[in-house]
Chains A and B, each alone.
Chain A
Amino acid sequence: MELDLFIRYGPALLSGFGVTILCWLVGSIGGLVLGFLLACLYRFGPKALGWLIYIYVEIIRGTPFMIQLFILYYGGPYVGLVLSPMQAGILSFIIYGSPYFSEIFRSGFNAIPKGQIEAARCVGLSERRILMRIILPQMLVPTTAPLTNFFIILTKETAILSVVTVPELLYETQTMAAETFTFVEPFLVLSLFYWVLVIGTSWVGERVEARVTRHLRRV
């Protein structure tokens, strides 16, 4: 194993890792927010809107991410939407993640007994307070673990962004491998970076879970 390779390619790999983290964080948090809005609109909005969301969820969830990315990046210019690779990458990431997030939140809504919401209405709580004070704190309990799952799945999906030349980790690794004819070292480093990301994510997930389930623990 040649260590001086890493001195030469270290900065490129690190910058790739930075881009991966940036795309992942912005894309998945954007997807999370959009997914939450979709789930709320589905639940509380008019029925016609619910149908539109249902169709959106099925189409985006049912097709591969790479095809969505291709359509946005290569097909976008035909309708006047010219995006840089990075913009297209992050935007498609938000779109791809949102239906999964929305379904996870829907499962959170399902976990709350209807009687609680009826009772809250009876004692005169506003809809907004019902959502913020009663539904949200309780729905975080069953959703935190699946949300962590999906954040982890998304870390690995960022690799697909390399096909539209976003200079993320896989892209830099492939460049290094092609220029130096080494394969073991670059991909070893690649796995190490992803592993760090996954371990970090599940660590944060566990902390969040400990916080949101605090009220369930018995003293």
Chain B
Amino acid sequence: MNFSFEVIWHNLPYLLAAARWTLLISLGGMAISLVWGIFLCAGRISRGSVIRSLARLYISFFRGVPLLVQLLMFYYMLPYVGLDLPAIAAAILAVGMCSAAYTAEILRGALQTIPAGQTEAAQALGIPTLSLWRRILVPQAIRIGLPSLVNELILLVKVSSLASVVGIGELTRISQNITGETYRPLEIFIAAAVIYFLINLVISGLGRLAEKRLEVG
């Protein structure tokens, strides 16, 4: 059996349509991951011991339980507590909330490099905590942690393939379906891998640009 570009060409529209779902899950997940990750990180290092333990518990749960299980929990268990999410919302939420645990740890690591004197100076000047985080701590933490954050976002794109278990026709699922019809796994999966690769290339390219822009000294 020869490698056939024709199979890829013929099925490309379906793969690209499926890639839109992959993109939607990834982008939604990234937004949740970054925003919620900042709050989690703040909770993880907060002075209040209750908040700190809760954040710690959250992180150990979402890092410890496989994402597949989390996804099934979001989709099948939340309806029992009256929260019936559509599959796409469950997928975005699960992916984002899991990734936020990792993001929070990355940011926490980066925050430790910021001298404590900066926080003290801000407090001495009477800058409110919210502004301290928004204007001083978070921008620096993101600059330092950027390569690690890009790592995490790329992993997030790859795990979006798990959303197929709640019935979303994203890239991996559709590739499997097309393979079932055409019996051409090699061509279709290589095409899918190339699409994932291109998405990740864009993300890391943007990461490099951001790094250049935020560079100091």
In this complex, what residue of A is CB-closest to B115?
A216
Interface residues of B in 63-77 (CB under 8 A from A): 63-66, 69
Interface residues of A in 105-159 (CB under 8 A from B): 106-107, 110-111, 113-115, 138, 141-146, 148-150, 152-153, 156
A112, chain B: closest CB distance, angstroms: 8
B152 / chain A contacts, CB cutoff of 8 Å: 149
Interface size classification for chain A = 35 or more
Interface residues of B in 170-217 (CB under 8 A from A): 189, 193, 196-197, 200-201, 204, 211, 217
Chain B interface, number of residues (Cβ within 8 angstroms):
36
The reply to whether A156 and B150 form a contact with Cβ atoms under 8 Å apart is: no
The reply to whether B105 and A146 form a contact with Cβ atoms under 8 Å apart is: yes
B110 CB contact (under 8 Å) in A103, A111, A209: A111
Please report the C-alpha to C-alpha distance between residue A63 and residue B158 in the assembled complex, in whole angstroms: 8
How many A-B Cβ pairs are below 8 Å?
Answer: 103
B106 / chain A contacts, CB cutoff of 8 Å: 145-146, 149
B200 / chain A contacts, CB cutoff of 8 Å: 58, 61-62
Q: Residue A183 at the B interface, CB < 8 A?
A: no
The reply to whether A110 and B151 form a contact with Cβ atoms under 8 Å apart is: no
Q: Residue A213 at the B interface, CB < 8 A?
A: yes
The reply to whether B197 and A107 form a contact with Cβ atoms under 8 Å apart is: no
Please report the C-alpha to C-alpha distance between residue A67 and residue B193 in the assembled complex, in whole angstroms: 8
The reply to whether B143 and A152 form a contact with Cβ atoms under 8 Å apart is: no
Please report the C-alpha to C-alpha distance between residue A113 and residue B189 in the assembled complex, in whole angstroms: 44
Main secondary structure of the interface of A (DSSP, over half): helix
Interface residues of A in 17-57 (CB under 8 A from B): none
A145 CB contact (under 8 Å) in B64, B108, B196, B197: B108
Most buried by A among B69, B143, B145: B145
In this complex, what residue of B is CB-closest to A195?
B64
> Which 3 residue pairs of A and B lie closest in terms of their CB atoms, listed nearest first?
A145-B109, A62-B200, A107-B147
Extra contacts besides A107-B144, A149-B148, A202-B60 (18): CB < 8 Å = A58-B200, A61-B151, A62-B196, A64-B158, A64-B193, A67-B193, A103-B147, A103-B150, A104-B147, A104-B148, A107-B146, A110-B147, A138-B113, A142-B110, A153-B102, A191-B65, A199-B64, A216-B116
**Which residues of B are in contact with A by a Cβ distance under 8 Å?**
60, 63-66, 69, 102, 105-106, 108-110, 112-113, 116, 143-148, 150-152, 154-155, 158, 189, 193, 196-197, 200-201, 204, 211, 217
